[in-house]
Structure 1
């Protein structure tokens, strides 16, 4: 719905630009002189200048290569194209310059003739990576669910046949072999049940305090590793409560922290292993192509050897484990539970440091 804009050209209704506030990219509307007539919140973050200060400023002045942008602006005014994309560099006082992808759009039938959309190159890469993670997780869930159902029925038949065979054996010493079949069938059944947990268990939603979750996990892991491991609290007490499944989130953090502790076995034996639980409030976060004003950012940081390079792109894949005897399901289930909360779990690793970051939208 449009409203009358006193700054719009005479006789023209001012468009309602509120939809731009939901975008993760910076959007600016320019008049025929190249002056900014509207800027959304991401533009304010990008330029580190308030919307009030941006108003009526020449957009090209913010760029190191402003002449290139002005040339595109003039072509848009002349309606030589519908839209044009180019790489530009923003100069910010006292900060490193930032490279952006600029899309210049010629508007028709609007009081202001040009729209410019800006995306940080690094941010675009991050969004692309998150989209790949979400698509990958969805494909993994479907694969695991179908695989689990396919295995479950014949597995039950196999176990039942072994029990019947055991009852018919005349030689009791042969039951050793049927017991192997039964025990291995039970082990596979347990694995299948774990694969199906995220699809079966009902979510119990309540108010969640993330620091209570962290404290529960901290006490559990320290009970398992009473010596040689330090778990440091670095909490932001301003993080508000949010709606979620507390037991699922405890499982998420527990899986990640236990993985970190297992990776630290050498440092634990040396007595200098450390895991940091860090909470922060992040602003203007994009999750699954949706913009959230506030998000919880929980980091689990360890000082271990880092994840091997050949596993880094596959750590959230099912049945992929970096340790002998691991099921490879802990991080897969953690990612599933986080995504059920509309969030994302990602990892940054290098020798001497691994950082798992969980992002969850906040009210």
Structure 2
């Protein structure tokens, strides 16, 4: 074993930076626990394996490593995309440092994952946009509701003064349209009801959504369940969470129907758990991940950055409120919603903290 000093090994084993040591043939000599966790492999079991059997990048990257051995030339690479042997895509920064040991050249790789940082940055931007939108909508709602109340009141007074009851049809139209606009504004603002929290199995929520969608589609769409039965109960408002998930699944159903016959459509409901996951500035030991996947036409690229804004819709007859309401509900549960989409594949991911007390840790 190349790392013979007990203190050196102790230090390497306790680094939070993923560290690998390769020999001159680019075969693994050592990897610390942080690297094992990042790549989801065992250093002991994979000792002596060629680097491409641990993860793959590009042929050019492999050539750069071989050149670093031959010329003893260190280099850094930013936002490299690695594929682990488990198929996971990782965005990382890494540095390569040639090290001489008893006349042989070794390569020290220090790998810094970027996925988490990029996701946190994206999430913070999304939350900032959401907060700005809330303030804008609340201000706009206040300015709309005040004159609406005056219009409605004036129409009621006018109706009392009209000599002919047939003319009241016109004032009724004014009153009904004023009420419709007020209800629309209320929906934009979201519910003011306090969450009715209770320990709930997330699969009960998804099964309720599935039964509603199967009824609406008359069983013509393929619904796939891919559940992790080990997920513990989570503290949520069951009815609100059903509404949040239903908004997404209904959107998927309508998108599929607009492109294909429903019998060709496929919606997958998947659940998993994640460890040490950060939402906002809080790191959670354990979160539930609910995924809703469809094979519809995908969300237009120009809409993806504003998808959760009120009144933004990809359908001519859409109100653009469903996903805005969903995001509000998820945020009230200290959760997070994300979306990835391209033609033939749209994925909505909902993350919900599973522990009662979240740890605040530095990022």
Same fold by TM (over 0.5)? Answer: yes
Which structure 2 residue ranges, 5 or more long, are not aligned? 1-5, 9-13, 20-31, 46-54, 56-63, 96-108, 356-363
Corresponding position: 1:310 with 2:302: yes
Aligned pairs for 1:206-355 (under 5 A) are: 206-266=198-258, 269=261, 271-355=263-347
Report SS of the residue matched to 1:299.
strand
Report SS of the residue matched to 1:292.
strand
Say if 1:179 and 1:66 are closer, same or farther in 2 by CA, change over 3 A.
farther
Say if 1:182 and 1:206 are closer, same or farther in 2 by CA, change over 3 A.
same
Match in the other structure for 1:360: 352
Corresponding position: 1:131 with 2:124: yes
Corresponding position: 1:87 with 2:78: yes
Report deviation, 1:310: 2.1
Report SS of the residue matched to 2:304.
coil
Distance across 2 between alignment mates of 1:322 and 1:90? 31
Q: How many residues align?
A: 310
Distance across 2 between alignment mates of 1:324 and 1:336? 23
Say if 1:150 and 1:238 are closer, same or farther in 2 by CA, change over 3 A.
same
Which structure 1 residue ranges, 5 or more long, are not aligned? 1-6, 10-17, 21-25, 30-38, 54-61, 73-84, 104-115
Report deviation, 1:99: 5.5
Report SS of the residue matched to 1:300.
strand
Say if 1:69 and 1:92 are closer, same or farther in 2 by CA, change over 3 A.
farther
Report SS of the residue matched to 2:93.
strand
Distance across 2 between alignment mates of 1:341 and 1:358? 11
Say if 1:140 and 1:44 are closer, same or farther in 2 by CA, change over 3 A.
farther
TM-score normalised by structure 1 residue count? 0.71
Contact 2:213 2:249 in 1 (8 A): yes
Match in the other structure for 1:75: none
Distance across 1 between alignment mates of 2:323 and 2:153? 33
Query: What's the C-alpha RMSD, in Å, of the aligned pairs?
Result: 4.0
TM-score normalised by structure 2 residue count? 0.71
Q: Which of 133, 136, 158 does residue 143 from structure 1 map onto?
A: 136
Match in the other structure for 1:187: 180
Q: Deviations over 1:106-163 (max 9, x none)?
A: xxxxxxxxxx996424443322222211211222222222322332222112111111
Report deviation, 1:49: 5.9
Distance across 2 between alignment mates of 1:144 and 1:118? 44
Distance across 1 between alignment mates of 2:341 and 2:83? 29
Match in the other structure for 1:110: none
Q: Deviations over 1:9-52 (max 9, x none)?
A: 9xxxxxxxx9x9xxxxx4479xxxxxxxxx8x865522546799
Distance across 2 between alignment mates of 1:233 and 1:349? 20
Say if 1:151 and 1:298 are closer, same or farther in 2 by CA, change over 3 A.
same
Distance across 2 between alignment mates of 1:189 and 1:221? 29
Q: Which has the higher contact order (CA 8 A, sep 6+)?
A: 1
